[in-house]
Amino acid sequence: KEFSAKANPNAAIPDDGGATSLKVKITLPNKSFRLMGIEIGVKIAHSRIGDLSLTITSPQGTVGTLVRRVLYDSDVAAATDFGSQNANIFHRFGCGRQWGEDPAGEWTLTISDAVKGQSGTLNSWEVLVAGDDANANNLYVFTDDYGTKPADGHKVIADTNGGVDTINTSPI
């Protein structure tokens, strides 16, 4: 399953050195499925994309970073380092932070402009989600990657939703 929603806000991105951000919202309808993939498409007119940071926040509050100041290196940054001098962002970003969530509800795109002097506009944006039917079945995968004893309260799988559950210990 997949569906999308698009908005054309033609909204100015605050050019105030990151003191405030542009926040725009799209609401996705309840389709009752589990998110397995997401793409965020943006069309931004801005004369210096190295100034910009973009995040996406799911209806459950999970924040994913789409881009953070392209080619800007904060470890060696000089006063004249503005990151990428290229203009405009017309791109589709993927984000894995929200996988497994229910995509229904309000999604928020946040755009910050960290350097004063170059302004821009969010012309349009789109959220495209794909996934499978929500059900009560769960897959638990155990690995020995961390090799530590589970913390109290994390020693028992307590699954009471009635689905068919699978425990995979093959990576151990």
Tally the C-alpha atoms within 13 A of residue 139's C-alpha that lie toward its C-beta.
Answer: 5
Interval 67-89 mean pLDDT: 58
Phi, psi at 69, each rounded to 5°: 45, 75
- What one-character-per-residue DSSP string does 64-104 give? EEEEESTT--TTT--TT--S-----EEEEEE--TTTTS---
pLDDT at 106 over 80: yes
pLDDT in tens, 7-65: 999 999 998 877 899 999 999 988 778 888 899 999 999 887 778 889 999 999 999 99
Coil, helix or strand for 139?
Answer: strand
User: Cβ(118)–Cβ(44) under 8 Å?
Assistant: no
Phi, psi at 50, each rounded to 5°: -65, -10
User: Cβ(105)–Cβ(8) under 8 Å?
Assistant: no
In angstroms, the first-to-last Cα distance of the chain is 33
Phi, psi at 49, each rounded to 5°: -70, -15
Predicted pLDDT of residue 85: 56
pLDDT at 128 over 90: yes
Predicted pLDDT of residue 51: 82
| Mean model confidence pLDDT for the chain | 81
Predicted pLDDT of residue 105: 94
What is the pTM for the complete model shown? 0.72
